[in-house]
A and B are shown apart, each in its own frame.
Chain A
Amino acid sequence: MSAEPVAAPAGPLILAEDLWRTYVMGAEEIHALRGVSFAIQPNEYVAIMGPSGSGKSTLMNLIGCLDTPSKGDYVLRGKNVSKMNDDELAEVRNREIGFVFQTFNLLPRASALQNVELPLVYAGIPKEERVARAKRSLEMVDLAARMSHKPNELSGGQRQRVAIARALVMGPSILLADEPTGNLDTTTGNEIMGLFERLQREGNTIILVTHERDIAEHAHRIIFIRDGKIESDERR
């Protein structure tokens, strides 16, 4: 795999076919996903919605290549990741997925710049280029002035913007955000949602996982999950 993002092949960015995810709890089998199929095109803005326990977190883990399906195929940019091992998945996550978490998940002891550098470190990119790219990424979220600050010296909204800069720094195929406004007040939340809209306009593919209807409504398409199945898939 090369470090540079290659032009997306024709066809969908994500093709999920009959995804099942089954957890074994003692003697019991719990089906968190029961045959989910969908396709996502490049530059889409999709929200995945569902109440807690619906299986939306499980689906997010599969989309984010943190986990593999028990059954079914997950094809990301033409590559079937369903049967990949841990290290192959790590590489796919590094290059294709930009995670944005509800709790930001920044490293507390590292500066904003160092946090943004982290995916580049694991991609094996040399220090100078790393710093340059991380700075550019921070500029994109208007935080270039705060790059030497530690997370605890930043506001919640600023922290989430650092996390978004980190998610963008590798030029991923998907920006995958899990309740990105869950720990923010409404005003800051709206700012972040505005940032996502801008990023989508600039060509990024965004998948938003949330249980809040008004957050989901920022997206152009809402996939509603209930009991491990897709209940509705509406474009707006």
Chain B
Amino acid sequence: MPFSEAVRLALTSLRSSKLRSFLTVLGILIGVSSVIAVVAIIDGLDSYIASRVLELGSKSFSVQKMPDIITSANQWIEMQRRKDVTMDDVEAVRRGCDLCTEVGAMVATSRDVKYGRVRQNDVRIMGVSENFSRIGSIRDLIAGRQLIGEDVENARNSVVIGADLMDAFFGTMEPIGREITIDSRSFRVVGVAERKGSIFGESQDNFVWMPITLFRKYYGSRRSIVIQVEARSMNVFEEAQDQARVVMRVRRHLDYAEPDDFNIETGESILDLWKSATQGIYAATLLVTAISLVVGGVVVMNIMLVSVTERTAEIGVRKALGAKRRDILRQFLVEAVILAGFGGVLGVLGAMAFAAGLSSLLGGMMATEFVAPVRLWAVALAVAVSSAVGLVAGLYPASRAAALDPVAALRAE
């Protein structure tokens, strides 16, 4: 029997039991769409993180007491013993790094902020040098002015607020010149920063910038400072980091063999960390999802076994009329592969719909573009794998059918 005939036969038989075929296909469909969707989500997350992190500034870095991400309690305790980064360090880096265009300082804490009777909780209060907004990704203002040198030099009472505070306190009112309250001290709003949205539900707009001098006056000068540095260009990014490192090591009197007792963080280092941290999770997720494909295969095998049993008499007739083992084998195998392959194709469509839905949902949540791309290789893989699943799942039922004794099969009614 030619292959085309087997395909035609399989389609006829699948059409004749539509509900059952659909339910069988459903198992594969779910498996395939979840695999593709997971790949798409992972892909989307990665590129999302990459774009967000690089947005932090591709040629900026920071020198800080502790790394951004601490992986154990012991490490944290150890890091705590390090010397604080001071304003003198900032000054030293500024003088010692000629590849750095901007060297700024930042120190932060978290407080509730009030305006009249409206309270905004857990606002990031940042004491910054006047050049802070020019380091890393530029933050433009939507109203008022940036902090200027005189604000910092004279510890002037002027703050720039994030868009969240603007929304919470002022709405459409004019914010400039209003007084907000932090720890029962009044601060005068001089500017409002543009909105950046959120990363993983963490708002990037819930902050108050004040002159670092003012911050140190109110919140103490013994906090460790984060030195913010902008390198002259991407080409000298590494060298600029090295210059800053040398300055710091000299100031700390570190031996040649001793490790840094401070951290230099870049967008890149955060990205690397993200990737290494999530790779294992991705693999595990994919594996767990792939199990659903196995379940789909079991469904196919089950249905094919039922089908063989139900059609024993038919198999007997076919054999009596001259069907060989391989004819019967092919008939049932093709049926199983078509079932599974069809499930695979539908699964791809399902995954596309899912990815599109997810993109718009997450995009809305993160107030930014989130694209979960359905990769061609994932589609090809899913269809190939589902067909293979059908082949494997169909093999046993089909060989059982092929091995039926025609006399016994004809007796079955």
**Is B322 a contact of A93 with CB atoms below 8 Å?**
yes
Q: Which of A99, A121, A170 contacts B320 (CB 8 A)?
A: A99
A119 touches B13 (CB 8 A): no
User: When A66-B320, A124-B1 are in contact, do A103 and B327 touch as well, CB less than 8 Å?
Assistant: no
Q: Evaluate contact between A87 and B325: CB separation under 8 angstroms.
A: yes
Inter-chain contact count A-B, CB under 8 Å?
Answer: 63
CB distance from A164 to the nearest CB of B (A): 13
Partner of A64, one of B5, B320, B413: B320
Contact of A122 among B314, B324, B410, B413 (CB under 8 A): B324
Within 8 A of A (CB), among B297-353: 313-314, 316-327
User: A98's closest neighbor in chain B, by CB?
Assistant: B321
Secondary structure of the B side of the interface? helix
Name B321's contact: one of A103, A109, A118 (CB within 8 Å).
A118
Check: A86 CB closer than 8 A to any chain B CB. Answer: yes
Contact with B along A89-128 (1 / 0, CB 8 A): 0110111010101010101011000000011011110000
Max chain B Cβ within 10 angstroms of own Cβ: one of A91, A118, A119, A121 = A121
| Known contacts A109-B13, A121-B1; A66 and B321 CB within 8 A of each other | no
CB-defined contacts of B406 to chain A, threshold 8 Å:
66-67
Does any Cβ of A come within 8 Å of B279's Cβ? no
- Docked-complex contact B314 and A107, CB < 8 angstroms: yes
* Complex partner residue of B322 from A90, A101, A109, A110, CB under 8 angstroms: A90
Q: Does B16 sit within 8 A of A, measured CB to CB?
A: yes
CA distance A121 to B331 in the complex (A): 12
Q: Is the CB of B313 within 8 A of A105?
A: yes
The answer to the question of B407 belonging to the interface, with a C-beta cut-off of 8 Å to chain A, is yes
Contacts A103-B413, A105-B410, A109-B13 given; does A119 touch B1 at CB 8 Å: no
* Chain A residues closer than 8 Å to B313, beta-carbon distance: 105
Contact A119 B2 (CB under 8 A): no
A105 and B13 within 8 A (CB): no
Binary per-residue interface labels of chain A (38-73) against chain B in the complex, 1 for a CB within 8 Å, 0 otherwise: 000000000000000000000001001011000000
Instruction: Write out the residue numbers on chain A whose beta carbons fall within 8 Å of the beta carbon of B326.
Output: 87
CB nearest to B6 among chain A residues: A121
Interface residue tally on A, bucketed by range = 20 to 34
A166 interfacial contact with B, CB 8 Å = yes
B322 touches A66 (CB 8 A): no
CB distance from A92 to the nearest CB of B (A): 8
In the bound assembly, the distance between CA atoms of A115 and B322 in angstroms comes to 13
Give the CA-CA distance A166 to B317 in the complex, in Å.
Answer: 11
Q: Hey, which chain B residues are within 8 Å of A66, CB to CB?
A: 319-320, 406-407, 410
Q: Which of B2, B318, B410 contacts A118 (CB 8 A)?
A: B318
Q: What are the residues of chain B within 8 A of A94 when measuring CB–CB?
A: 321-322
Residues B317 and A107 in contact, CB atoms below 8 Å apart:
yes
A87 vs B329: C-alpha distance when bound (angstroms): 13
Q: Is B12 an interface residue (CB 8 A)?
A: yes
- Residues of A within 8 Å of B322, CB to CB, are 90-91, 93-95, 119, 122-123, 170
**B371 → chain A, closest Cβ, in Å?**
46
On chain A, the residues within 8 Å of B12 by CB distance are 109-110
**Interface of chain B residues 104 through 131 with chain A (CB within 8 A):** none
Inter-chain CA distance A97–B317, complex, in Å, is 13
Partner of B1, one of A64, A95, A122: A122
When the two chains form the complex, which single residue of B1, B321, B325 contacts A99, counting CB atoms closer than 8 Å? B321
Can you offer 24 A-B residue contacts whose CB atoms are under 8 A? A61-B407, A66-B320, A66-B406, A66-B410, A67-B406, A86-B325, A87-B325, A87-B326, A90-B322, A93-B319, A93-B320, A94-B322, A95-B322, A99-B321, A101-B410, A103-B413, A105-B316, A109-B13, A122-B318, A122-B323, A122-B327, A123-B322, A124-B1, A124-B2
**Chain B residues close to A by CB (< 8 Å):** 1-2, 5, 12-13, 16, 313-314, 316-327, 406-407, 410, 413
